[in-house]
Structure 1
Amino acid sequence: MSSTGIRVATLDDIPVGQGIAIDKAVAGTDDDIALLRDDDGSIYALNDTCTHEVASLAEGWVEGGYVECPMHSSKFCLKSGEVQCLPATENAHPHRLEVRDGEVYLFPNEAP
């Protein structure tokens, strides 16, 4: 992996309050990666698949530091991936990101 990260998106690619999925083949990870843009404009990266059931967190609701799964409303902290409510009981895996000149760089499997 590059010490400069992998360029995966621009800020304009990720609407505020939403997410996009980066294919695991691009990220070099076991799961797709959800890039999630909080309502304050901050960007976070978590494994895309909800830990409760197969659903994309990139398709969930992003607000107030959390992403809510679109299937059963499990909630995860954007910063740590820590699960906030049932039915999920396992944390989502976070990944480090850097934003440079409006471009988003992913550091797969590195802690934020």
Structure 2
Amino acid sequence: MENLLRDGDYVPNGFGGFTRLYGTQEVLARALFRLTCRRGSFPFLPELGSRLQELGREKPSAREAAAKIFCASALRDMELEVDDVRLTQLPDGHARMEVWLTVQDEKQALEVRI
């Protein structure tokens, strides 16, 4: 059981508690957390997180392949599989990444802003 996070804050449920996630939604929330936090940012969990912030160092033609490798590395301890990654460059210099996953035999998608 996981609490829903939105913009770094827990989402209230209207009854004095927080919105809970279960099943596939819980797994996706954990995956999104691992993809958005930088690897090495937690001193006692140095392997937690991803290296997606390093994509800017890659040649533009190699970024999608590198993103897929970085995602698979960040999510390797979870019970899911990274099927595909699509990057879209945004006008503000950031990128939007769609990650297609197989979670409990279901195809799911996550969107991450880099």
What TM-score, normalized by structure 1, do the two folds share? 0.30
User: Which structure's CA Rg is the greater one?
Assistant: 2
Question: Greater RCO between the two (CA within 8 Å, min separation 6)?
Answer: 1
Q: Which has the higher strand share?
A: 1
Q: Which has the higher helix share?
A: 2
What TM-score, normalized by structure 2, do the two folds share? 0.30
